[in-house]
Structures are given as C-alpha cells and as structure tokens.
Chain A
Amino acid sequence: MRVRGDADLLIAARRALIDALGALADHAEAVVVIGAQAIYLHTGKAPIALAEATKDCDLALDTRRLGPAPLIEEAMRTAGFHLNVEGRQPGSWLNADGIPVDLMVPESLAGAAGRRAARIPPHERNAARRAVGLEAAVVDHAPMAVPALDPEDRRCPVANVAGPAALLVAKLHKVGERQATPTRLIDKDAHDIYRLLVAVSTGRLAADLRHLRASELAGDASEQAIRFLDALFASGPDALGSTMAGRAEEGVGEPATVSASVAVLAKDLLIAVD
C-alpha cells in the first residue's frame, strides 16, 4: 500500500520516524534525528504555501556510541521495515506504507573506505550508508520530544535531535558543494538555511557554531561551512545562496525579502561567531 493524499503525508512520515526510533530504542544514545524533520522540529510550519518537509526521514548513527546488539537490520525488520531494493542505496529502509527512513553514518565514522555502505560490524553492510557533512550532527544534538502528528496516535518519544547549528552546517555543505551546478533542486536547502536563521536566535547559533568549530570531529566541516556562509549568503542579497533562498519562494512568497533577510542574518551570525 502507498500512502495517498496530502494531509496524511507528513503524519505518515512522522509515524515512520517514531516507529524507527522505537526499533532502535536500545541504541537511542547513538541515534540522531537529522534532515527536514529535524528542521521542522526547530522551525515549525512554514507560513507560506510551501511544503515544510517531505515524507523522507533521516537518522544519523554515532558509531562511537553504537553497541553490537541488537543488530540494526534485525531491529528494523522486526519493526516492519525492509531495505529498498529498487533504490540500490545501502541504509535506505521503507516501512509497509512505502515511507522511507534513511540510516546514515558520518563519513569519518563510517569505517574502512567504501563507496556507499558504512562498515560498522557486527551490523550488516547494507544497514546504513556513509554520508559527508553529518559530523556536526553527532556532536551537536539535544533530546527533544517528537510527537506523533496523528491525533489518534498518543506517542511522543524523546530522541536526540540535531541542533540548529549542526543542521545549518549540513545544509551549507549541500549548497556549497553544488555551487558549480546550482540547480533548483538545491533552492530548498538554501531556503531551509533561511528558515533556521530566522527561527533560531543569532546568539544561540553563534555559541553552538563556536562549540562545533572547536570539536575534533566536526571542526573542519564547521570551519568550511562558515566559509560557505560568508561567500554564499553574508556577501549580500545577490550572492548565490541568498538568491536561491529567495527563488524558492517564487510565486508564493517574497523572494526579495527572503534574499535580503538571509544575507543580513548570515552577516550577523558571522560577526557573532568571530
């Protein structure tokens, strides 16, 4: 069965996320909610006619805290998930409704060099995939309540959710590494950066970024992200990232205001970090 219709989509995605958190409850310390769902938890609903998230759920695994048992693949299968064989990507799980939950390990914790699969024995090779730019998420996170969105579903587990600064670092890498081919696919990531900068105080973001910059694991990635913030956003409303953030609202919002706001907030953040 596939979930159809619209109102149900975010509800179903949240349900899948909570199911996955339940499946991995014995590894709760090692699991961090990242991606659009985490951004949604920090920023809330978008005030304009743009989807604030998709049906995708992304979880990062901190292998430093990950125990050997239960095996990830067994825990996920027991909870009703199966590997997406069509996608040819390791770590790409689907629940019975076809809602994807992706398990990812930061590249520098993903074990011996490999193309896609994270090598985290004794867990199966296809259980999780390696991904760049997630180091900040396993350093900067805090427990948050993750409520179900279905009024009938009373569950509200507490899980580690990546902090806004870590999400900012991940999104800055996504935009920065794509700047040579800035397709519209990345506009939403630039817009997510705008949403984070608006929703979270500059003081908090600056303090968290300083902490990330000083960390051994995420220091390099965070330093690079700050350089991207400077070049792509803080340099003005016409900078590539600011333009992309505005373009994401074309037709439904205020592109010029978004471009100007994100540039100003990025500049403020840079000043506050140094």
Chain B
Amino acid sequence: MTEHEPTRRAEVLRRVVELLRVRLPPEWSTRLRDDAVLEVAAPGGATGYLAIEAKRTPTTRDLASVPMKSETGDPTIQILVAARYLAPSTRAWLDGQGLSYVDATGNLRVRMNAPALYISDRGADRDPWRGPGRPRGSLQGPPAARIVRSLVDLVPPLTVPELARRSGTSLGTVYRVVEFLEQEVLIERTPRGPIADVAWRPLLERWSFDYGFQHSNTIGRFLEPRGLEALTERLAAVEGLRYAVTGTLAAHRFAPYAPARLGMVYVDDLERAAELLNLRPVDTGANVLLATGEYGMVFERCDNVDGVTYAAPSQTAVDLLTGPGRSPAEARELLDWMEANESSWRR
C-alpha cells in the first residue's frame, strides 16, 4: 500500500479512524469526538472510548511515556497509539505492554473490554514513506552480533570501552549499537556512565529479527541415518573439529520442551565436518543442519557436557527463536528457564 504520505497529524488521524471504521462489524459506529477521542458504539448502545495518542513514526523510546490507562481511571476509556508507521519491533513492544495501536499502513490491533471488541490486521512491514538519509538502526552483521551476545552474557554494569574490549568490536561500532539499543529501550545507561541494565530477553528477541541460524549462515543439509543419538555420540568422540551444538539438543540440558527431531550444529567447514561426523548430504529429509559463516561469536562461552560442546544459552535461544516448527516455542521455554536461573549462566 503506497498511498500518499499522511504528513500532518490530522491526516494521520483521519486515515487511522477510517482504517478502524471499515474493520468494525457493520452494526457498529464510530465518531471522532474532538481530535483525540474516538467514540465506538456497539449495536446494543454500549459505548467505549479510545483516547488517541498520535505520533508520526515513533521509536520504542518515544512510546515509553504513553500512559497505560486513561488518567481518569474510567474503564470505558482505553489508550490507542496511532502513528503514520509502526515498525515490527515497536508493534511487538506495544503488544507486550497490552496497548492498542493502529498505523496508517493498516497495521492494527485494538482491544476494548466494554463493549467487548477485538480487531487485528496487518499492513506494511517496511515504512513506505521513509525518506532518504541514514537508515534506521538494526542489529545486522557480525559486530552487532558480538555486542548483543556480550550484553546478554555479561552481568552489568559495563562501560562502553569495556564492552568494546570484551566483545572484540571497535569503539565506534559499539557507540552506534548502544545508541540504537537505548532508543529501543533495551538497555539503560547512566548519563555519561556505564550501561547499568540490559533487558536481555527482549534484546535477544529483537536480535532475532536480524540474525537467524539459517538466514545469517551458509547451511548444509545432512542425514544421520542412525538418528540424533548417534550424532551426539560422534560429536563426543570426534577430534580436531571445532563445533558448537545449538537448537533443541542444546536446550534439552536446561529446559526440555519438545522432542529433538533436528540437529543444529555450528562448524567452520561444512565438508570437513560432514566427513568427520559421517553425515550424508541430502536434498530432502535432512535431520542435521550444519551452519558456517562469519559469526565467530557462536563459539564463545560454550559449555562442555559429557564431551559434547554446546553453544551458550543466549546463542541457543536466538537460534531456536528463528528455527523451524516448534523451535520458537522451545525458545520461550528456554528463556523462561534463563530468567529463573540467571545467576547460573550470566557471568
């Protein structure tokens, strides 16, 4: 959808009210009372109000000041964040806060208790009206990956130079990433001081938009005909091979949630690893995925259990978040475990 860009606040409001109106059941009606309150009436006469917080293209930090509830405490008044465009990470944050939202491209999720209403729809995943200039930040690439892994794995406080040193990344890159993470309310920094707090779970979830086991690496699909137990036995016995087991097999040590059907292993060289592990390359029916690429941090802070090297919990979590099938649900279970046992893996 690339209609002309709604630049003024009034245009954004008009567009989002129209988007809501056409999605309501036919018997419902809406009326914009002044320029900040939308009246929503159900067929039986029950009426609720959406207090609109209009923004242009807000970052998560811009939204942190939005009140969660109407100041009057009236349960028939709910907050609705309206914007020209809301990025996927911003929508995810709003979801997490339980706030209703709508943007001018058609992304919307509105929940009212009285009268009961729930509507949800999807618009653009990229800002169709973003002008030229410096792109919005992201966590793409190996340097950002090293910084994220360090922020998650190390206990704060951490100064920026310390973070640069421990993650092996240039100071300039660290400043850029830290600025972006502050905007996204994923870290807290004392003014001109160290990083005091890291929202490590949302940070890993946000990183998974930019990093994925399959998307960010070169993948080889293989079959271990005797199954995953045979794979782990071979991994425990193999010599002269750097690797890190991730995915379900790595999560099972902490939070077994779904049976392991797929082995996911980081290696340096696909062919050599496949040969040493006696894996057969296949086009379909793979039960082992080997990954290799430029992301050296996957081998950092691994554990060795019964002779098998496993990726760190933070790495395992992001790999499951972007994995196939039920992997993302396994990630949620692992992240729950990590929250409950922070001192056992965060150093």
Asked whether, in the complex, the Cβ of A9 is within 8 Å of the Cβ of B121, the reply is no
- Whether, in the assembled complex, A188 has its beta carbon less than 8 Å from a beta carbon of chain B, the answer is yes
Identify A5's interface contact among B252, B257, B340, CB under 8 A.
Answer: B252
Q: What's the least CB distance linking A66 to chain B, in Å?
A: 24
A-B pairs with beta carbons under 8 Å apart, 28 shown: A5-B252, A6-B259, A9-B258, A9-B259, A48-B261, A49-B261, A49-B285, A50-B325, A51-B260, A176-B120, A179-B120, A180-B107, A180-B108, A180-B109, A180-B121, A181-B91, A182-B122, A183-B92, A183-B328, A184-B321, A184-B323, A184-B327, A251-B219, A251-B286, A251-B324, A252-B286, A252-B289, A252-B325
Chain A residues whose CB sits within 8 angstroms of the CB of B258 once the complex forms: 9, 51, 53-55
Q: Mark B271-289, 1 if CB is under 8 A from A, else 0.
A: 0000000000000111101
6 A-B pairs with least C-beta separation: A50-B325, A51-B258, A49-B262, A185-B328, A54-B258, A49-B261
> Which of A3, A182, A247, A252 lies in contact with B262, CB distance below 8 A?
A252
A180 and B284 CA atoms in complex are apart in Å by 32
Contact B326 A188 (CB under 8 A): yes
Given the contacts A188-B325, A251-B324, A252-B286, A50 and B108 also touching, CB distance less than 8 Å:
no
- Closest chain A residue to B219, Cβ basis: A251
**Is B248 interfacial (CB 8 A cutoff)?**
yes
Beta-carbon nearest neighbor of A255 in chain B:
B324
* Complex: A50 Cα to B262 Cα, angstroms: 7
Q: Which chain A positions have C-beta within 8 A of B107?
A: 180
**19 additional A-B residue pairs with CB within 8 Å, beyond A55-B256, A184-B328:** A5-B252, A5-B256, A9-B256, A48-B261, A49-B287, A51-B248, A51-B259, A51-B260, A51-B261, A53-B258, A177-B118, A178-B120, A180-B107, A181-B91, A181-B92, A184-B323, A247-B324, A248-B325, A252-B286
- The answer for the CA separation of A185 and B92 in the assembled complex, in Å, is 12
Q: Which of A54, A177, A250 is in CB contact (< 8 Å) with B324?
A: A250
Min CB distance, B203 to chain A, in Å? 16
Closest partner residue, chain B, to A53 (CB atom) = B258
Is A240's CB within 8 Å of the partner chain B? Answer: yes
B residues less than 8 Å from A178 (CB atoms): 120
B5 interface residue (CB < 8 Å to A): no
* Contact bitstring B234-249, A, C-beta under 8 A = 1, else 0: 0000000000000010
Contacts of A185 in B (CB 8 A): 328-329, 332
Interface residues of A (CB under 8 A from B): 2-7, 9-10, 46, 48-51, 53-55, 86, 176-185, 187-188, 191, 240, 247-254
Distance in Å: Cβ of A256 to nearest Cβ of chain B: 12
* B95 interfacial by beta-carbon distance below 8 Å: yes
Residues of A within 8 A of B321 (CB): 184
Q: Is B149 an interface residue (CB 8 A)?
A: no
Chain A positions within 8 Å of B219 at CB level: 251
Interface size class on chain B is: 35 or more
Interface residues of B (CB under 8 A from A): 88, 91-92, 95, 107-109, 118, 120-122, 214, 219, 221, 228, 248, 252, 256-262, 284-287, 289, 321-330, 332, 340
| Bound: A51/B257 CA distance, A | 10
Contact (Cβ within 8 A) B257 A54: yes
- Are B286 and A54 touching (Cβ within 8 A)? no
- Report Cα–Cα, A185/B322, bound state, in Å: 9
Collect the chain A residues with CB atoms within 8 Å of residue B260's CB: 6, 51
Bound complex: CA of A108 vs CA of B79, how far in Å? 26
